[in-house]
Structure 1
Amino acid sequence: MSYKIVFFDIDGTLVNEEKVIPADTIAAIHELKATGVEPVIATGRAPYFIKPLAESLGIDSFVCLNGAYAVYRGEVVYKRVIDKESLEALVQLAGTHKHSLVFEGEHSFFSDTAECPMVTDSVLSLKVELPGHDPEFWKSNDIYQVFLHCETPDEEKYAELTDRFTLIRWHKQAIDVLPAGGSKAQGIEAMLKQLNIPVEESVAFGDGLNDKEMLKFAGLGIAMGNSNPELLPFADYVTTHVDERGIRNGLIYAGLLPQEAAVK
């Protein structure tokens, strides 16, 4: 198969636990671009979280907010916002349980709580700035994703909202709240249609639970060697660890970089 486009998750895929891009990953992405294959970031992060990383890799196309917002070379090609009625239901329920929310818009994000240790811990783990404080932000702005802050035993308190939302845990104290059925695969599908590229000619790399649909959807789904074990059944191939030339070795498996560069 001749692949034309490759989608890369960020955390645990392009960057390691220290949120650093391994030098060989940077080299591999630049080598991939030189072949004419399009590299695209596919992440749960918002667009304003990824700018420095994207620039360092020379990537200007991305699927962000777990598929709810997609941009190809500076042009927005897909948006999926959360409806206000669903947001209101979430706000009311989270308020009842005293769980903090962070609302992610197109250009900025805000918390409904002035100070919350869970918000601080989860957001700083991404090595980005903390959100502003505006409990009303969701009312007057398009919201694509919400961080719900609670620990695992409290997740069941939101079971009544599963017809409105997809909930995916990404931190011990935080959950991504997406529109029902939302996933990176939706944004990827929209971008492929825009570019008239068959899904069979796409590759996706990931390591986390929010990468399941993406790896299953792509023509070739590659899981990192450091992946959550629950992701592996959805992958066509498991490459090496992010710090062990995992991106390069996966691209070699896909036939997109020379075989002689592989390291086992």
Structure 2
Amino acid sequence: MTKQSVIFFDIDGTLLNHDKELPLSTKESIFKLKGLGHEVAIATGRAPFMFEDLRKELDINTFVSYNGQYVVLKGEVLYTNPLKISSLEKLTEAALQNNHPVVFMDHEDMKANVPEHTYIKQSIDTLKISRFPTHDPHYYIGRELFQTLLFCPVGEEEQYEREFRDFDFIRWHPVSVDILPKGGSKAKGIEKIVNKLGIPKERQYAFGDGLNDIEMLSTVKNSVAMGNAEEQVKVHAKYITKSVEEDGIFHGLQMVGLL
């Protein structure tokens, strides 16, 4: 029996290519890992409802979502880390004055504080998901929110970073930024899962490509950056595989000796 390892995969630019398609070699590799008895998990900035179809296709029920703020192990919620609502309310007021819309997100849905805005459409459309945020400016009231999207051009998030110290801001699109609880990360979410599973660091693996993967790649012992990752991401990984377009997951798993 192979000793069990746990492997965490980012979604966009890692499991899915830039057309949001799952390469056949990636799907086959995931099922080979599962067949060998390994625990396969997802670690993403996406909301849980944004990758339900992918979880079903790959038969994965362990995941770190919202960049570590909503963590599920074998179908059961293991850990949550919601945003501070009082600070979010003040940020939303400031954003409205700057014509910067926001989208509130919990584990079930997402709602925009404005009826429509070109920045929301531009960025959400790139995810190629079936759901689009509808209008509810009061969605934050009485709910735990795990991430909020702030829509503004590059550089304009700096004013919010200076004023709102309860949050971290991570850009994922030219006109959109993730707002997370201060210190929240995929690495923290992964820590909750590996501690519960009791799998040692030597058998922990992570694959990613984005800025929100840096802490994960820096923390997980056997980290693999995709060939399509930016250089500032690659420097934090132990290994660098081929791009997602070149069967990067398959080659990376071979590189680290899992396949």
For 2:40, the equivalent position in structure 1 comes to: 39
Residue 67 of structure 2 contacts residue 184 of structure 2 at CA under 8 Å; is this kept in 1?
Answer: yes
Tell me, what secondary structure is at the counterpart of 1:7?
A: strand
C-alpha separation in 2, matches of 1:256 and 1:104: 36
In the alignment of these two chains, the number of paired residues is 257
Structure 1 residue 3: deviation in Å?
A: 6.0
Tell me, what secondary structure is at the counterpart of 1:222?
A: strand
For 1:261, the equivalent position in structure 2 comes to: none
Alignment of 1:78-93 (within 5 A): 78-93=79-94
Q: Which one of 182, 196, 199 corresponds to residue 197 of structure 1?
A: 199
Structure 1 residue 187: deviation in Å?
A: 0.6
Amino acid at match of 2:28: A
Q: Which one of 165, 177, 185 corresponds to residue 163 of structure 1?
A: 165
Gap change, CA 1:3 and 1:238, over 3 Å in 2: farther
Gap change, CA 1:161 and 1:109, over 3 Å in 2: same
For 2:8, the equivalent position in structure 1 comes to: 7
Amino acid at match of 1:249: H
Structure 1 residue 48: deviation in Å?
A: 0.3
For 1:242, the equivalent position in structure 2 comes to: 244
C-alpha separation in 1, matches of 2:161 and 2:54: 36
C-alpha separation in 2, matches of 1:186 and 1:205: 16
For 1:118, the equivalent position in structure 2 comes to: 119
C-alpha separation in 2, matches of 1:161 and 1:247: 40
Q: Which one of 204, 223, 226 corresponds to residue 224 of structure 1?
A: 226
For 1:262, the equivalent position in structure 2 comes to: none
Amino acid at match of 2:14: T
1:104 and 2:124 matched: no
Task: Judge which range, 172-181 or 187-196, deviates more.
Answer: 187-196
Normalised TM-score (structure 2): 0.96
Residue 208 of structure 1 contacts residue 228 of structure 1 at CA under 8 Å; is this kept in 2?
Answer: yes
Residue 161 of structure 2 contacts residue 168 of structure 2 at CA under 8 Å; is this kept in 1?
Answer: no
Residue 114 of structure 2 contacts residue 135 of structure 2 at CA under 8 Å; is this kept in 1?
Answer: yes
Amino acid at match of 1:21: L
Amino acid at match of 2:15: L
C-alpha separation in 2, matches of 1:11 and 1:91: 27
Deviations 1:173-229 (A, max 9, x none): 100110001110111001111212233321000000000000111121100000022
C-alpha separation in 1, matches of 2:4 and 2:217: 15
C-alpha separation in 2, matches of 1:168 and 1:135: 22
Residue 63 of structure 1 contacts residue 184 of structure 1 at CA under 8 Å; is this kept in 2?
Answer: yes
C-alpha separation in 1, matches of 2:168 and 2:28: 36
C-alpha separation in 2, matches of 1:238 and 1:246: 9
C-alpha separation in 2, matches of 1:180 and 1:160: 13
C-alpha separation in 1, matches of 2:123 and 2:88: 21
Tell me, what secondary structure is at the counterpart of 1:216?
A: helix
Could you tell me the percent identity over the aligned residues?
Answer: 41
Residue 3 of structure 1 contacts residue 203 of structure 1 at CA under 8 Å; is this kept in 2?
Answer: no
Residue 122 of structure 1 contacts residue 173 of structure 1 at CA under 8 Å; is this kept in 2?
Answer: yes
Structure 1 residue 162: deviation in Å?
A: 4.9
Structure 1 residue 247: deviation in Å?
A: 0.3
For 1:25, the equivalent position in structure 2 comes to: 26
Q: Please report the RMSD computed on the Cα atoms of aligned residues, expressed in angstroms.
A: 1.3
C-alpha separation in 2, matches of 1:198 and 1:156: 39
C-alpha separation in 1, matches of 2:136 and 2:181: 21
For 1:52, the equivalent position in structure 2 comes to: 53
Structure 1 residue 12: deviation in Å?
A: 0.2
- Structure 2, unpaired ranges of 5+: none
C-alpha separation in 1, matches of 2:211 and 2:124: 18
Gap change, CA 1:202 and 1:162, over 3 Å in 2: farther
- Structure 1, unpaired ranges of 5+: 258-264
